[in-house]
Amino acid sequence: MTEQLCFDDVAVGDTVPPLLVTVEPVQMFFFSAATYNGHRIHYDRTWAQQVEGYDDLLVQGPLQVALMARAITDWIGGRGRLLTYAVQNRATAFAGEELTFSATVTGKRPAARGGEIDLAVEARKTGDVVVLPGTATVLLPGKAVLLPGKDQH
């Protein structure tokens, strides 16, 4: 188990460790099934290329959004909370492309028992193309909250 990230440990300009993911067709098929997304551009390569005219299968926008949320929540740890999250799909991502999900701290404000951290988030694909820009705000505990004998609820 990793140590909990605290508000006091974060500074404006810090970066979230990047999450690198290569989304494969099987993952996309299962995501389509789980989200009841029947659009064949996400799981039928022949359809995507010959009927729709794409180079390959398209990675679902909601899957990219979920992966970005994973990068953020992995960083903030179990005691952190994702308060707000807004992103936009700006470019297509294809099956087999490596995607990099990252964020940079743009602001911080003390709050009760810790503080809020503002993030500029983005996902990039091969060629340094931004496919998913956005923002997020997280709540992190203060170090005093995590001291032994303090309320852990």
Question: Which domains does the chain show, CATH number per domain?
Answer: 7-22+60-146 (3.10.129.10)
34: Cβ contacts below 8 Å, ≥ 6 apart: none
What would the mean pLDDT of 111-123 be, rounded to a whole number?
94
When pLDDT is cut at 50, 70 and 90, the band that residue 1 belongs to is very low
Q: Is the pLDDT of residue 48 over 80?
A: yes
73 close to 98: Cβ distance less than 8 angstroms: no
Question: pTM of the entire structure?
Answer: 0.89
Burial of 47 (0-12, 13-18, 19+ CB in 10 A): middle
Where are the strands (E) in 15-128, listed by range? 15-22, 81-87, 98-111, 114-125
Q: Which helix (H) or strand (E) holds 134?
A: strand 129-141
Band (pLDDT 50/70/90 cuts) for residue 145 is: low
